[in-house]
Amino acid sequence: MNKSELSETLAVKYGLSLKKAEEVVTAIFDTLTEALGTGERIEIRGFGSFVVNDYKAYTGRNPKTGEAIEVKPKKLPFFKVGKDLRERVGH
């Protein structure tokens, strides 16, 4: 299911115009992206949590050529599935 299908399903389920449903779905993921952008942790009960981990600069290697390269410091988002959903998915 992609973002448009999610919007369509929301529109049908909630009795909403497709345009409004798209606005809601977009606003939700924009909100999550902005929170992660400031390094904030997100916790959604019954779903899971998102955290941003900081990585320091390190010297890596191009696995093809073996050449050493400087990897800049970076931030990466991680999702940890909540217990309820993990059990629902994993049965």
Other residues' Cβ atoms within 10 Å of the Cβ of residue 21 = 21
Are 19 and 46 a contacting pair, CB within 8 Å?
Answer: no
Least distance between other proteins and beta carbon 56 (Å)? 14
Q: Is 15 in the site for other proteins (CB under 8 A)?
A: no
Among 40, 57, 58, 60, binds other proteins (CB under 8 A): 40
One residue of 3, 58, 61, 71 binding other proteins per CB under 8 A: 3
Q: Is 71 in the site for other proteins (CB under 8 A)?
A: no
Closest-CA residue to 43 (of 17, 79, 19): 79
Does the protein bind other proteins through residue 47 (CB under 8 A)? yes
Using CA atoms, how far apart are residues 2 and 90, in angstroms rounded to an integer? 22
